[in-house]
Amino acid sequence: MSDITIYHNPACGTSRNVLGLIRNSGEEPTVIEYLKTPPDRATLQGLIAAMGVPVRDVLRIKGTPYEELGLGDPRWSDDALIDFMLAHPILINRPIVVTPLGTRLCRPSEAVLEILPNAQQGAFAKEDGEPVVDAEGRRV
């Protein structure tokens, strides 16, 4: 079993790119499709704490019910925002990656390189063709 976990949405290009970068480092991560298997409250709170970011930084706006739920309103407490994310997992921004070197919301996808224990093993380009890593495994 891998020491790397990705909270993944296969419909998301950034999430697919991050998964590709993890695999390009020679690791096969534990993949949690969080829309099918949402984290529980303790797990979500633990991920947010490990990232060291405000709860609001983990909220996804695009393609979610963020606007209709009025989540931009500052009156919502962190606990309330977590309640919304648990009720509507699409509100959890992705991908979140956990490795022995840290936990991070990997947007842009290259952010995952900072927490992967192993170097890239070859060239890697994003789905749109943008090169990320050269043939020697160095960041472009």
> Taking CA 132 as the corner, what is the angle to CA 127 and CA 135, rounded to the nearest 5 degrees?
110
Rg for the chain, CA atoms, rounded: 16
Strand order in the sheet with 102-105: 30-33, 5-8, 96-99, 102-105
Catalytic residue among 5, 6, 9, 12: 12
106 counts as catalytic:
no
**If you count them, how many residues does the chain have?**
140
- For 50, residues 6+ apart whose C-beta sits below 8 A from its C-beta are 98, 102, 103
Alpha carbon distance 34, 137 (integer Å)? 30
Residues recognised as catalytic: 12
